Structure 1
Amino acid sequence: MKVKEVAELAGISVRTLHHYDEIGLLSPAATTDAGYRIYSEQDLETLQQILFFRELGFPLKKIKEILHNPSFDREEALEMQHRMLLEKQKQLEKKIRTIEKTIQEVKGERTMTQKEKFEGFDFSHNPYEEEARRRWGDQTVDEANKKTGQFTEADKNRLSDIYRNLTAARHLTPDSKEAQDAIHEWYVFLQRFGHYTPEMFKNLGQMYVMDERFTKNIDQFGDGLAQFMADAMAVYANQRTNEN
């Protein structure tokens, strides 16, 4: 199959396939004299694997390492992907139920507990690890991951409390006492998983608004929350820097 046919079949762009070829992730079996890429049946199987891994949030670099490993087993990989997608489905179903309950509450048909409002959200897993590694280095992220493995039920409850407080304070000015108290709790919590200097904390806040993935994820808790956190984190970091 030619590249355009593969792109239409898989629902991705031709440019994406060209990029996969350029980085050595998926190179077509052959190229015609005219320079057209020709994909084999095996290439399509590999592309399916890539798209499954991408759906699960794996970075391209990691996918390449997995697929190019001599011990790679396609059946084993499919079984793992199946388990992970089922888990993702469960989390999505929880979020759907939460938003349905929230709609009912907005209509005055029911009252939700604070805990119910955040069912289905789990920030113990960081889907943006590749970006963090690029910005802050492997050592910082590896240390954070090691600590994240010790994520307790109390940590999850604490995280939910922090986000509730931040959501409630987001209509205040970022330098207000309430906002700064809430963002201080966020700063302290992050130290549980790695050493964040005030400058790193401020830069992290900027990522919340510069990267639409972060913005979308955070704003699920309340419109404008990502921007509010970024502003409050900048104020907090600047105050701590001046104090020192």
Structure 2
Amino acid sequence: MELTVGKFASAVNTTIRTLRYYEKIGLLVPGKKNDANQKIYARDDLKKFYNIQLLKSMGWPLIEIKQMLEETTYSFGEMVEMQEAVLLDKRNTINESLKMIARIKKVMNETGDLSNEDLMLLMNTIRLEEDQRMILQQYFSATTVDRIMPQNKRQQLAFDRLNKRLLSFFQASIHSGLRPDSQEVQRELEELFALIPVSRNELFHLDRPLDKPSEILKALLPDDMAEFFGEAIQVFYNNQFEGRGE
């Protein structure tokens, strides 16, 4: 089999432009010419083309396909194993992103359109839930943390509503110049804590004293909000302990 670029493109259902690009990057270079000095594709080129398409369908980028095919001892079996792991990881990432989008849309359907800032903050709180869990584990028992963090879709929606309210309130408080120890802020915290599905005794029985916002909290929120949130929470807990005579 010896075909010019046009006939080869037709035979393999691709375009001349694609074949020219493959040749340009050294991925598939015809090694023969006919009597008219035209480059021609032989049977080995056909086999290589289909190998390229196979690897492309598995998600390999062209530059890596080129490197693989240049190796004299490359193994399709090893490629399959490697790419399976990559694709599974991508699938997990996509699935988690779709779950996050579904949760965001539920909140948006309830509250209407969110501002860009509110939307990004809420998306980050969902994306970084494991980091939130790490923050809580610094202060509460594992059992209490499991009860606070959502375990099913119903709890996720309640948790997202709570986060939306918290983020919007603290953002508005900062913009309006309220102090973390103001009555408005502390009253809102009182109402928010009442919505958390754990007892007051669990909430106020800390495994360690509250300190300034951790690096994880600063990673979750803008610096000013992380600082404000940390101070407000600290004041709230101090007030609770004073009220109990501790």
* TM-score, length basis structure 2: 0.45
**Larger-gyration structure (1/2):** 2
